């Protein structure tokens, strides 16, 4: 018998769960304190009511219903209204201030709790149920064999009631046993773990489906974030389908000579990585890319994480581009933010939201490297994958810039992590020539197209970038280890290749 | 002395329920000498009472009067524990044997002379 899934409608979760939680079963949701178990549980009921028309029951062992109603109002979840409408019921088993610790003599069962749960489920016609958290009941009655057996009985009864349940449990360590009480043996058809780890001074929330008995799901940890508008949002990285609807429509890079080097422009749905040391002209290429889009009548979106709006607009003005006018006309949108204002997961969600609202045909992010600062390498890689696949999926041309750490040659972390995700790579390099610092540009990779392999010199003036002749007398530009050759030597080498080519024919 | 009002909550007529009923009746008869009222409530018939009284486990005895309210859960097999847990004072039994720890709430309400 195959397991039917119940779509939780918690953003992103159903993608990693291949449809949702196993319907009519209980799932153990385990996490350390502060890992957002209660939010997840509450949202499970909220989305059920809001999106699926499924009433829910919240059995609380720790917080009082008053506290939950108040805490969750911050997400715009109006629990009292749903209670009044008969769509939501609390079973309040939280410790009561007027109760002394339970005096116990002889054997007992949790029949009363079961009666209350059954009553609440029947009264609301609930399809979803949350028990938060098992730790609370053990605090009240002790983690005795009786309590364990009774919980087992309740979980079985839930199955008979046909509700899909989430039962939360506390863990002590992020990577230790599934739960503190060892209760998982009883409930564990299905286990989901929430983590809130500290990596390189950054908090990172992840969710992992440890097991769904008899049902498939994505493996491993997925980042998630919590925001005031949506609650929990899971970022389903590898669950994003890699369906490359490759297009052979070309769009301009905004620089005619660069278009020629690329064999006629960038592909419409391609991701372009622009890498170079600081000051090599990345912001200029970005600005021209965006302006070129606007000039061609395309909606263009620029995310700037390094420069302020004023700076950016002034720079553009200096190259003869009027961003202000373009924005007023509605084809351009510029979003400036400091990377430190949010976590990377939140940035990703923010970027996605702006893209969905503005519906651009091209997007530039200047720079991706600035975002490295606010995250661990792992988070950064996930961010890059999430962003590129999102952009690709929408048939949008994306230009990302990456700052390499050394002035001459070298690669950036950004490059290391996203170069395989990109369709094109353009390198900007400083070139030292007999006491001069000049700039060079080359198209390193251009998926699905011929492109020029030269390293060409470029200059910048009040009209922007001008791409000139290839550097013929210098080698080692990419590595930063320059060697210079005299015209004699070059002639001799050219001769050599020519004669071997001729002899080969 | 004020009469005790005791309510015993059970779920169904199970062996445990029966045991709790007979244990509590015996304690009441032997130790309270008629100075009590006892109600037995089956939560299967009155589920909303479980919600109102915040009952978690059964059997549960709630001493509603005199205030403050006292609770004890279990099949009430240990008469001494029941008397202490519900803070019931009898003529023939004294305070709990020395050396045994009292439940904290009881110590706030020492037996009246």
Catalytic residue among A47, A221, A306, A361: A306
Tell whether B63 lies on the interface with A, counting CB pairs under 8 A.
Answer: no
A306 an active-site residue? Answer: yes
Tell whether B41 lies on the interface with A, counting CB pairs under 8 A.
Answer: no
- pLDDT reading at A473 higher than 90: no
For B27, list phi and psi in degrees, rounded to 5: -60, -45
Under 8 Å between Cβ of A371 and A339: yes
Rounded to the nearest 10 degrees, the angle between the axes of helix A65-72 and helix A37-52 is 70
Q: How far is A117 from chain B (nearest CA, A)?
A: 9
**DSSP type of residue B64:** E
CB contact under 8 A, B43 and A99: no
Query: Taking chain A, what is the end-to-end CA distance rounded to the nearest angstrom?
Result: 67
Q: What is the residue-wise DSSP string for A297-363?
A: T--EEEEESSS-HHHHHHHHHHTT--HHHHHHHTSEEEEE--GGGS-HHHHHHHHHHHHHHH--SEE
Q: Which residue of A has its CA nearest to B108?
A: A100
Average pLDDT, chain B: 76
Query: Taking chain B, what is the end-to-end CA distance rounded to the nearest angstrom?
Result: 11
Instruction: Assess whether the previous peptide bond of B68 is cis (omega < 30° from 0).
Output: yes
Question: Measured between beta carbons, which residues in chain A are less than 8 angstroms from residue B13?
Answer: none
| A257: helix, strand or coil | helix
Helix (H) or strand (E) holding A271: strand A271-276
Stretch 4-23 of chain B: residues touching chain A, C-beta under 8 Å: 9-12, 16, 19-20, 23
| A217: helix, strand or coil | coil
The residue whose two tokens read 């091209």 is A362
Estimate the share of chain A in helix, then strand, then coil, as percent rounded to the nearest 5: 35, 25, 35
| B25: helix, strand or coil | helix
Task: Find the CB nearest B75 among A107, A120, A140.
Answer: A107
More confident residue, A224 or A378: A224
The per-residue pLDDT for B113 is: 39
The per-residue pLDDT for A504 is: 47
The per-residue pLDDT for B107 is: 42
Mutate to test the interface with B, among A105, A142, A146, A150 (most CBs of B within 10 A): A105
Give me the count of residues in chain B. 113
Angle at CA of residue A463, ends A462 and A469, nearest 5°: 110
The per-residue pLDDT for A335 is: 92
Instruction: Read off the pLDDT of each residue in A94-116 and give the average, rounded to a whole number.
Output: 80
Q: Which residue of B has its CA nearest to A98?
A: B69
Helix (H) or strand (E) holding A161: helix A145-161
Q: Which residue of B has its CA nearest to A64?
A: B54
Tell me the pTM: 0.70
Q: Model confidence over A133-190: pLDDT tens digits?
A: 888 888 888 777 888 888 888 888 999 999 999 999 888 776 766 666 666 666 768 8
- How, if at all, do strands A266-267 and A250-251 pair? antiparallel
Under 8 Å between Cβ of B79 and B65: no
CA distance A53 to A60: 22
The per-residue pLDDT for A277 is: 85
Report the complex ipTM.
Answer: 0.76
CA distance A225 to A156: 33
Instruction: Read off the pLDDT of each residue in A422-447 and give the average, rounded to a whole number.
Output: 84
Chain A to chain B Cβ contacts (< 8 Å): 111
Q: Model confidence over B40-57: pLDDT tens digits?
A: 889 898 888 888 888 888
Q: Model confidence over A257-313: pLDDT tens digits?
A: 999 888 888 888 888 999 888 888 899 999 999 999 999 999 999 999 988 999 999
* Alpha carbon distances (Å) from A407 to A278, A368, A480, A483: 7, 18, 8, 17
Q: What is the pLDDT along chain B (113 residues), one digit of tens a residue?
A: 678 888 889 898 888 888 888 888 888 877 777 788 888 889 898 888 888 888 888 898 888 888 887 888 888 888 777 777 777 776 444 444 444 444 444 444 444 43
CA distance A493 to B67: 106
Instruction: Read off the pLDDT of each residue in A361-376 and give the average, rounded to a whole number.
Output: 87
- pLDDT reading at A475 higher than 50: yes
The per-residue pLDDT for A374 is: 80
* Alpha carbon distances (Å) from A56 to A73, A121, A190: 17, 8, 20
Q: Which residue of B has its CA nearest to A108?
A: B74
The per-residue pLDDT for A505 is: 42
Question: Measured between beta carbons, which residues in chain A are less than 8 angstroms from residue B86?
Answer: 103
């Amino acid at each position: 018998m195959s397991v039917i899934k119940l779509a939780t409608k918690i953003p992103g979760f159903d993608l990693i769960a291949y449809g949702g939680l196993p319907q009519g079963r209980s799932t153990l949701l385990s996490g350390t304190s502060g890992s957002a178990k209660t939010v997840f549980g509450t949202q499970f009921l909220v989305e059920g009511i809001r999106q699926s028309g499924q009433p829910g029951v919240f059995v609380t062992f720790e917080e009082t219903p008053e506290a939950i109603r108040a805490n969750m109002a911050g997400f715009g979840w109006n629990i009292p209204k749903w209670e009044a409408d008969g769509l939501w019921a609390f079973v309040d088993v939280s410790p009561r201030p007027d109760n002394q610790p339970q005096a116990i003599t002889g054997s007992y069962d949790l029949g009363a709790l079961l009666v209350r749960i059954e009553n609440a489920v029947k009264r609301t016609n609930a399809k979803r149920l949350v028990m938060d958290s098992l730790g609370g009941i053990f605090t009240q009655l002790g983690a005795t064999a009786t309590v364990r057996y009774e919980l087992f009985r309740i979980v079985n009864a839930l199955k008979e009631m046909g509700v899909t349940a989430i039962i939360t449990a506390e863990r002590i360590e992020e990577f230790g046993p599934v739960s503190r009480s060892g209760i998982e043996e009883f409930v564990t058809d299905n286990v989901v773990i929430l983590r809130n780890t500290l990596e390189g001074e950054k908090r990172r929330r992840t969710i992992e489906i440890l097991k769904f008995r008899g049902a498939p799901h994505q493996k491993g940890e997925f980042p998630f974030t919590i925001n005031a508008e949506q609650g929990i949002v899971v970022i389903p990285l590898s669950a994003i389908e890699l369906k490359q609807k490759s297009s052979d429509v070309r769009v301009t890079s905004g620089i005619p000579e660069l278009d020629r080097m690329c064999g006629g422009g960038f592909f419409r749905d391609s991701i372009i990585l622009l890498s170079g040391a600081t000051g090599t002209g990345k912001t200029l290429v970005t600005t021209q890319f965006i302006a070129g889009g606007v000039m061609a009548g395309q909606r263009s979106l620029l995310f700037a994480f390094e420069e302020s709006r004023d700076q950016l607009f002034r720079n553009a003005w200096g190259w003869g581009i009027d961003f202000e006018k373009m924005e007023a006309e509605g084809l351009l949108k510029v979003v400036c933010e400091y990377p430190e204002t949010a976590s990377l997961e939140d940035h990703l969600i923010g970027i996605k939201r702006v893209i969905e609202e503005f519906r651009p045909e091209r997007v530039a992010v200047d720079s991706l490297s600035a975002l490295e600062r606010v995250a661990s390498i792992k988070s950064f890689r996930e961010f890059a994958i999430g962003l590129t696949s999102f952009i690709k999926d929408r048939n949008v041309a994306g230009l990302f810039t990456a700052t390499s750490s050394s002035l001459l040659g070298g690669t950036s972390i950004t490059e290391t992590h996203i170069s395989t995700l990109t369709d094109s790579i353009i390198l900007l390099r400083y070139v030292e020539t007999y006491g001069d610092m000049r700039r060079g540009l080359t198209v390193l990779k251009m998926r699905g197209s011929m492109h020029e392999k030269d390293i060409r010199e470029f200059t910048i003036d009040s009209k922007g970038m001008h791409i000139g002749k290839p550097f013929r007398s210098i080698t080692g530009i990419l590595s930063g280890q320059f060697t210079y050759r005299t015209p004699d030597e070059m002639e001799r080498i050219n001769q050599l290749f020519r004669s071997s080519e001729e002899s080969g024919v | 002395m004020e009469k005790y009002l005791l309510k015993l909550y059970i779920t169904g007529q199970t062996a445990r329920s029966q045991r709790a009923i007979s244990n509590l009746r015996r304690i009441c008869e032997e130790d309270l000498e008629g100075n009590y009222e006892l109600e037995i409530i089956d939560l299967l018939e009155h589920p909303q009472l479980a919600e109102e009284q915040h009952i978690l486990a059964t059997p549960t005895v709630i001493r509603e009067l005199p205030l403050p309210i006292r609770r004890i859960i279990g099949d009430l097999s240990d008469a001494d524990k029941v008397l202490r847990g519900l803070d019931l004072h009898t003529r023939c039994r004294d305070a709990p044997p020395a050396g045994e720890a009292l439940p904290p709430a009881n110590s706030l309400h020492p037996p009246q002379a």
